[in-house]
């Protein structure tokens, strides 16, 4: 009697695990938030398999260290953590973000890789040892290594003199770029490599068939401040340079490659700029409805303590909006590096 009742009770409940994949996809399409979609993939293996090709349109966010190997993605527009991940794969590694969903990481052993925190896929890069150096300032990713329609190149700023090198995933060694030192930032833009010195000069290198040739040198914008860190980014198909004065004010210039001249701009138009030492990029606000157009997201740094060559940074995150500054929220993880990233759950082409 009990067994019969138990079978009848089980039969009265739907078999949620075996919902047809097309129905699950329709439900996922109607889900309002990325968090809801991520939770759907975590229900069971069959749901995860059915939704593996579901496009998740993640917003630009901060990847922050929470505790141990746990990292969280913080959505500034929602002022909330929308997903937490256990990532022992990057334990003890320095990380740089990108707008392509992949991190660039370097371990204590100087081994470097490209890593997707959602899929946990990775691509090896040459060791820093191939440059006979141990100091790495920055890594910059040109595109997703899964995008067959683009040439994935990684740029490295290294050594105390801030030299520049490049490599592709799978290469055996880094290729140094001669003739330039004191590099603040670099970018792979429209098939060329552009590097910005601390003086504000821009060096352009043509990258054709795996070889590099120096193409042009662009003069610095005026006025330029040598002591300000400079960042290169693509703004709607234009190469732009931004510098900040401890995030009190921003100077942004657009390069006219036909006249070799700079134009100072006072508006980002319909774009949003995500500004940081580990990654700087701009997005069209229309592609991310929660982003404010003509807005700069950045960090405020207040130096409160100096302890034997180590400066403790007490941080707040804010935005610069239509020439006005306002604090969006207090930074919840005081000693976590600020890494901007647009997570991608699968192959995605920008």
Rounded Cα distance between 323 and 171, Å, is 45
Q: Where in the chain is the domain with CATH 2.120.10?
A: 55-341
Confidence of residue 164 (pLDDT cuts 50, 70, 90): very high
The whole-number pLDDT of residue 65 equals 83
Rounded Cα distance between 334 and 331, Å, is 6
Confidence of residue 244 (pLDDT cuts 50, 70, 90): confident
Q: At what angle do helices 21-30 and 34-41 cross, to 10 degrees?
A: 160
- What 3-state DSSP class applies to 213? strand
Q: What is the average per-residue pLDDT within 191-197? A: 94
Cβ atoms of 168 and 154 within 8 Å: the answer is: yes
The whole-number pLDDT of residue 149 equals 64
> What pTM value is reported for the model?
0.81
For 221-241, the pLDDT digits (tens) are 988 777 888 999 999 999 999
Look up the CATH architecture of domain 55-341: 6 Propeller (2.120)
The whole-number pLDDT of residue 195 equals 96
Check pLDDT > 70 for residue 314. no
Bigger pLDDT: 278 vs 24? 278
**Residue 271, CA distances (Å) to 13, 133, 292 in order:** 49, 38, 8
Rounded Cα distance between 244 and 225, Å, is 9
For 2-59, the pLDDT digits (tens) are 455 555 545 555 677 777 877 777 777 666 566 676 677 767 877 777 776 666 678 8
């Amino acid at each position: 009697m009990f067994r019969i009742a138990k079978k009848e009770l089980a039969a009265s409940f739907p078999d949620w695990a075996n919902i047809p994949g097309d129905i699950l996809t329709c439900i996922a399409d109607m889900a309002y938030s990325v968090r809801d979609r991520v939770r759907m993939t975590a229900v069971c293996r069959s749901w995860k398999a059915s939704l593996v090709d579901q496009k998740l349109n993640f917003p630009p966010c901060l990847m922050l260290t929470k505790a141990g190997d746990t990292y969280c993605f913080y959505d500034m527009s929602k002022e909330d953590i929308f997903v937490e991940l256990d990532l022992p794969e990057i334990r003890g590694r320095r990380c740089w973000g990108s707008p392509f969903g992949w991190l660039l990481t370097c371990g204590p052993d100087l081994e470097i890789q490209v890593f997707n925190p959602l899929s946990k896929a990775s691509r090896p890069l040459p060791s820093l040892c191939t440059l006979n150096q141990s100091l790495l300032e920055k890594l910059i990713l040109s595109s997703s290594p899964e995008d067959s329609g683009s040439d994935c190149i990684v740029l490295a700023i290294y050594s105390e003199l801030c030299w520049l090198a490049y490599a592709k995933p799978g290469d055996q060694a880094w290729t140094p770029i001669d003739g330039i030192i004191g590099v603040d930032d670099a970018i792979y833009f429209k098939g060329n490599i552009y590097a910005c010195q601390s003086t504000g000069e821009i060096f352009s290198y043509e990258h054709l068939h795996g070889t590099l040739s120096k193409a042009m040198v662009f003069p610095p914008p005026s006025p330029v401040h040598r002591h300000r860190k400079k960042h290169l980014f693509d703004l709607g198909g234009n190469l732009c340079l931004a510098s900040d004065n401890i995030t009190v004010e921003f100077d942004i210039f657009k390069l006219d490659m036909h006249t070799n001249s700079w134009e100072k701009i006072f508006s980002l138009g319909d774009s949003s700029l995500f500004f940081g030492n580990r990654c700087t990029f701009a997005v069209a606000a229309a592609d991310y409805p929660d982003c404010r157009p003509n807005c700069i997201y950045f960090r405020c740094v207040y130096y409160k303590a100096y302890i034997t060559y180590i400066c403790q940074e007490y941080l707040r995150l804010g935005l610069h909006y239509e020439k006005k500054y306002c604090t969006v929220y207090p930074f919840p993880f005081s000693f976590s590096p600020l890494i901007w990233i647009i997570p991608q759950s699968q192959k995605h082409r920008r």
